[in-house]
């Protein structure tokens, strides 16, 4: 097949140039700056138990939020694609709101809702459940901002699935649950995973919506981006970059792993549904 548009050398060159300016150079600068502070300062900055607790909270809350979004994002995408109901368009538009809203606005709204005297918080308080200023609150904020990723990744794939494939499975004697498990879910898995990866990545870096609801109690509800901000406010650039570098390395490893998993799954789950109807 003859290639359209500029061709490999030019487009690859441009990609590298662009990626360098937008992504690589800032990140390399970060690592470079960190190396400049020396091992001892680096170690001092990150061996703080507060940093360790924050890393644990950031990664675990982000992961849980991504998992929650995986389940409910799939459900929402399913309803939006498969059913017709009044207000469907409005619903569909609202999915993107967590993207559009300044995160601080979301944080303030969530905090006032979940605080002990808020609408939801006051209902949960008698049950002994406290959300605001606990890791649960952090997870809720991260779930809020990550939702659109899964919905928007799954929707087009779900829409492109051929209903006849499900009918074929049904005619072969499969129950609706079996059809979902054996036919739909495997075809949707790569999209769900991709959406969850994006939601996870977004949650790791989230700051605005979390700081209000988290309460920022050292060792309990401090997230990594907050620690970095704290260091910067104290003009401790070395400490901030050291933590950032650790965060960067861990994120990179996790995202790389997620991508490899996706690649492996989409290869092993065969081609997409589009091919079957070709």
Partner 1 sequence: MSITITGITKEFGKTEVLKNINLTVKEGELLALLGPSGSGKTTLLRMIAGLEHASKGDIFFDGNNVTNVNAKDRNVGFVFQHYALFSHMKVKDNIAYGLRVKKKKDRPTKPQIESKVNELLELVKLDGLGERYPSQLSGGQKQRVALARSLAIEPSVLLLDEPFGALDAQVRKELRRWLRTLHKQTGVTTVFVTHDQEEALDVADQVIVLNGGEIIQEGTPSHIYDSPNSPFMYRFLGNANELKGTATKEGISIGGVTLTSEEPHADGDNVVSYVRPHEISLAHTSGNDHHLEVEITKTHPVGPIVFIEAKRLDGDREQIEIELTKGAYDNLSIKIGDMMYARVERFGTFQANEYMI
Of these, 46, 125, 170, 248, which contacts partner 1 (CB under 8 A)?
Answer: 170
> What is the full DSSP assignment across 24-45?
IHHHHHHHHHHHHTHHHHHHHH
**175 sits near partner 1 (criterion: CB under 8 A):** yes
| Other CB atoms within 10 A of residue 31 CB | 14
**156 sits near partner 1 (criterion: CB under 8 A):** no
Of these, 160, 178, 234, 259, which contacts partner 1 (CB under 8 A)?
Answer: 178
Q: What token pair was written down for 75?
A: 């459900």
**276 sits near partner 1 (criterion: CB under 8 A):** yes
Task: Report in angstroms how near the CB of residue 278 gets to partner 1 at its nearest.
Answer: 8
- The answer to whether 154 and 74 are in contact (CB under 8 A) is yes
**171 sits near partner 1 (criterion: CB under 8 A):** yes
- Residues 6 or more apart from 153 whose CB is under 8 A from it? 73, 191, 192, 194, 195, 198
Task: Report in angstroms how near the CB of residue 221 gets to partner 1 at its nearest.
Answer: 42
- The answer to whether 134 and 61 are in contact (CB under 8 A) is no
Q: Annotate each residue in 253-272 with x if it binds partner 1 (CB under 8 A) or - if it does not, as one string.
A: ----------------xxxx
Of these, 11, 182, 234, 259, which contacts partner 1 (CB under 8 A)?
Answer: 182
Q: What token pair was written down for 36?
A: 């400049």
- The answer to whether 118 and 127 are in contact (CB under 8 A) is no
What CA–CA distance (Å, rounded) separates 264 from 189? 11
Task: Report in angstroms how near the CB of residue 191 gets to partner 1 at its nearest.
Answer: 13
Binding region for partner 1 (CB under 8 A) out of 49-57, 76-84, 88-96, 175-183 = 175-183
Of these, 17, 47, 52, 162, which contacts partner 1 (CB under 8 A)?
Answer: 162
Of 183, 195, 182, whose CA–CA distance to 156 is shortest? Answer: 195
**160 sits near partner 1 (criterion: CB under 8 A):** no
**Contact residues for partner 1, defined by CB under 8 A:** 162, 164-165, 167-175, 178, 182-183, 186-187, 269-273, 275-278
């Amino acid at each position: 097949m003859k290639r359209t548009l500029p061709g490999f050398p030019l487009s690859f060159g441009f990609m590298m140039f662009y990626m360098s300016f937008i992504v690589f150079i800032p990140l390399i600068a970060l690592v470079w700056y960190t190396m400049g502070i020396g091992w001892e300062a680096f170690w001092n900055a990150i061996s703080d138990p507060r940093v360790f607790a924050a890393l644990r909270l950031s990664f675990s809350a982000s992961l849980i939020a991504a998992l929650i979004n995986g389940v409910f994002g799939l459900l929402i995408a399913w309803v939006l694609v498969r059913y017709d109901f009044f207000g469907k368009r409005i619903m569909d538009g609202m999915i993107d709101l967590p993207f559009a809203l300044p995160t601080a606005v979301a944080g303030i709204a969530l905090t006032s809702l979940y605080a002990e005297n808020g609408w939801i918080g006051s209902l949960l308080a008698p049950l002994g459940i406290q959300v605001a200023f606990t890791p649960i609150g952090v997870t809720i904020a991260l779930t809020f901002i990550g939702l659109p990723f899964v919905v928007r990744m799954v929707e087009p794939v779900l829409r492109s699935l051929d209903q006849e494939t499900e009918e074929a499975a049904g005619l072969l004697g499969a129950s609706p649950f079996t059809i979902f498990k054996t036919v739909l879910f495997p075809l949707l898995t790569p999209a769900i995973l991709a959406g969850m990866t994006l939601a996870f990545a977004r949650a790791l870096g989230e700051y605005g919506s979390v700081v209000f609801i988290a309460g920022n109690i050292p060792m309990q509800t401090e997230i990594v981006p907050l620690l970095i901000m704290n260091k910067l406010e104290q003009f401790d650039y070395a400490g901030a970059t050291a933590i950032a570098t650790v965060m960067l390395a861990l994120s990179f490893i996790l995202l790389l792993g997620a991508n490899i998993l996706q690649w492996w799954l989409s290869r092993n789950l065969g081609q997409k549904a589009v091919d079957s109807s070709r």
